[in-house]
Amino acid sequence: GAGVSQSPSNKVTEKGKDVELRCDPISGHTALYWYRQSLGQGLEFLIYFQGNSAPDKSGLPSDRFSAERTGGSVSTLTIQRTQQEDSAVYLCASSFRDGSNEQFFGPGTRLTVL
């Protein structure tokens, strides 16, 4: 079946602009995670959804970052007033539930802030 998909695959934006990154999880997966992969910080957790609620937002680096999930499926990560340090690959993962099940990762969105 289809895996986790993310769009766009690449996004180049100017400093100060807002961007939206989209994640389509595997059908039936109730847990959804956002991570960020950057040269300086490695792979870091951003936010976790169980259904449409986000019990753990502890990894969001600032209030410019927000995320939502609707219908227990698609999630959107929004970055407002982008800064150069936001440049990274943003990864989405999903799993059946927040037990010990495997997280399946999408291909990522590469964000470049000029």
Partner 1 sequence: GNSVTQMEGPVTLSEEAFLTINCTYTATGYPSLFWYVQYPGEGLQLLLKATKADDKGSNKGFEATYRKETTSFHLEKGSVQVSDSAVYFCALSEGAAGNKLTFGGGTRVLVKP
When binding is defined by CB under 8 A, the residue of 2, 14, 42, 71 that contacts partner 1 is 42
Q: Are 111 and 86 in contact, with CB atoms under 8 Å apart?
A: yes
CB within 8 Å of 69: residues ≥ 6 apart:
32, 49, 51, 52, 54, 75, 76
- State the minimum distance, in angstroms, from the CB of residue 55 to partner 1: 6
Q: Enter the tokens of residue 48.
A: 């976790």
Give 48 or 65: the residue with its C-beta nearer to partner 1: 48
Site for partner 1 in 49-108 (CB under 8 A): 50, 55-56, 59, 91, 93, 95, 98-108
Calculate the alpha carbon distances from 78 to 1, 17, 42, 69, 98 in Å.
28, 11, 20, 11, 24
- State the minimum distance, in angstroms, from the CB of residue 16 to partner 1: 30
Residues that bind partner 1 in the complex, under the rule CB under 8 A: 31, 33, 35, 42-45, 48, 50, 55-56, 59, 91, 93, 95, 98-108
